[in-house]
Structure 1
Amino acid sequence: MNKSIAASAWSGMIAMMFMFGAIISWQIFPPPSPSLPMAEWAAHFTENRTGVFVGSVLMCIGSSLFFPFFGGFYGCLKVAEGKHTPLTYGMMMIVPFGFLPLFLVMICFVTAAYRPEMSTEMTAALADAGMFLLVIPGFIGLAQWVVTGIIILRDVNPQPIFPRWLGYANIWVGILAAPGSFIPFFKTGPFAWNGVFAFWVPVFTFGMLLTAVLWAMLRAAKHPAMQQDQS
């Protein structure tokens, strides 16, 4: 077994736990309505300061643990793509750009809660920015998962590194993530930041996909090509 790939997979599983804990601690699961009165939305952060701070630390730890996970995932994709790996290198550039908003979410929420004497308008604006950053990178997800799906489907190995169904799953999750980018146009309905298409469908499909990828990476750690690559 390629122990580095296996360790990377477990890193991703731990990261998911930390990030889910952050969202629970922030008390934004389920997310509040964008049409919530400004004073009530601002009070959500000033009255839950400790939860916001704890959640931000959890998010920082969780998102950091995703980097070793994606490092292992890159290793698998590179072997799948073969000698020349432009798509894998493309994905390597997309992922850090996609995770940057998570750090900015943390900063926005912490800043909103840090000074309770701050004006309601400023607190609400920072909280809005945090929610936008959390949901709006839908097209980044589209690019990331579609590219990943293509790599998996075009695997050059006689015995593929990942099962083909995982490639199709990546593409579909990427497509389903795209509606999140349209949230600035809506305060109610399925495309608002708490809507079915902008939030719930992407969150649950993303969670299921990551679980599938973790399983597939543990399986890939035993693949003969990964052992050869390790030596």
Structure 2
Amino acid sequence: MTDAGSALAEDRSEEPAEPERKGKREIWIFYWLFGVFYTALSVGVCLLGRATPPPRPDVTELQAVAWFDKHQMGIQVGFVFLLVIAGGAAISNGIIGYFMKRMSSGKMLAYAYIAAMGVGAIPGFQVLLVCWLTATFRPDRDPDVMYLLYDLGMLSYNGSLGCFTAAYIVVAIAILYDKNRIFPKWFAYVTIWQVVTEVLASQMWLHHSGAFAWNGMITLYIALVVFGLWIVCFLALFRKAAAAETARTPALYELEGTR
């Protein structure tokens, strides 16, 4: 009896539990990093850089210069901070790509999403930071140049469409065709609304004021509400998917490693 009990204890001690613990640790670390990054992003863009809510598009050259002068310190502190942590965007892209690769719709859609978001980060984020930091770096520039940097930053930040549209379409398609039920089907339709807001944002290139300008109700604020809803839904679904992922047995990790 003693020998049998000792053998059973040895068998249990040899079970490969480490892959499960490792999987849990990595997934939950990235879950919290996702939330921390978007919180920091909101502070840098909204409270310090003042890009959201955005300044008015229907201003003169001198008004644009005065706006940069008024918010110079906030732009410099906030946007330099964002340049330092900008790589955090890869965390959110990687997390979504990680779960997309586990969908039955295939890995190619996951790679397409990551690539589209990586390309979209340049016009949709980096151009704004560089333009406004350049404007505040030498505030005595010609007003026409400052005016150009003012417009270019905002139009690129709010009006960049193609890459993000492609990324959200890929996510929606992957969820709708997924048979593994990583995310529920209704999240695909929430994602499609992201595509709708990106298309509506194209009007800001044509209007200097009103609902279709870059600070308008249709092109901006509806998009903010939809994006906020999307983030909240994704965080909740990510938590659920992460719990399901880390509940798998070590044998499943070993099986995936052999594929």
TM over 0.5: yes
Q: CA deviation at 1:77?
A: 0.6
Answer yes or no: is the 8 Å Cα contact 2:51–2:154 preserved in 1: no
Out of 110, 114, 122, which is 1:92 matched to? 114
Q: CA deviation at 1:41?
A: 1.4
Equivalents in 1 of 2:114, 2:247: separation in Å?
19
1:45 counterpart residue number: 68
Q: CA deviation at 1:113?
A: 0.7
Equivalents in 2 of 1:219, 1:58: separation in Å?
31
- Rg comparison, structure with higher value: 2
Answer yes or no: is the 8 Å Cα contact 2:65–2:143 preserved in 1: yes
Equivalents in 1 of 2:159, 2:186: separation in Å?
27
Answer yes or no: is the 8 Å Cα contact 1:8–1:71 preserved in 2: no
RMSD between aligned alpha carbons?
2.0
What code does the residue aligned with 1:163 have?
A: P
1:172 counterpart residue number: 193
Larger deviation, residues 55-64 vs 214-223: 55-64
1:194 counterpart residue number: 215
SS in structure 1 of the partner of residue 243 of structure 2: coil
Out of 132, 135, 140, which is 2:158 matched to? 135
Unaligned runs of 5+ in 1: none
Q: Matched residues, percent identical?
A: 23
Q: Deviations over 1:135-170 (max 9, x none)?
A: 01133322211210111121121xx11122111111
Equivalents in 2 of 1:172, 1:129: separation in Å?
26
Q: CA deviation at 1:186?
A: 0.8
SS in structure 2 of the partner of residue 221 of structure 1: helix
Equivalents in 2 of 1:165, 1:5: separation in Å?
24
Q: CA deviation at 1:68?
A: 1.4
Q: Deviations over 1:73-101 (max 9, x none)?
A: 1110110135x422222112101011112
Equivalents in 2 of 1:72, 1:46: separation in Å?
39
2:97 counterpart residue number: 74
Equivalents in 1 of 2:247, 2:197: separation in Å?
31
Q: CA deviation at 1:64?
A: 2.0
SS in structure 2 of the partner of residue 182 of structure 1: helix
Answer yes or no: is the 8 Å Cα contact 1:14–1:65 preserved in 2: no
Q: CA deviation at 1:57?
A: 2.3
Equivalents in 2 of 1:161, 1:226: separation in Å?
14
Answer yes or no: is the 8 Å Cα contact 1:98–1:141 preserved in 2: yes
Q: Does 1:54 align with 2:68?
A: no
Q: Deviations over 1:151-195 (max 9, x none)?
A: 1121121xx111221111111122122222232211012111101
Aligned length: 228
Answer yes or no: is the 8 Å Cα contact 1:180–1:191 preserved in 2: yes
What code does the residue aligned with 1:28 have?
A: A
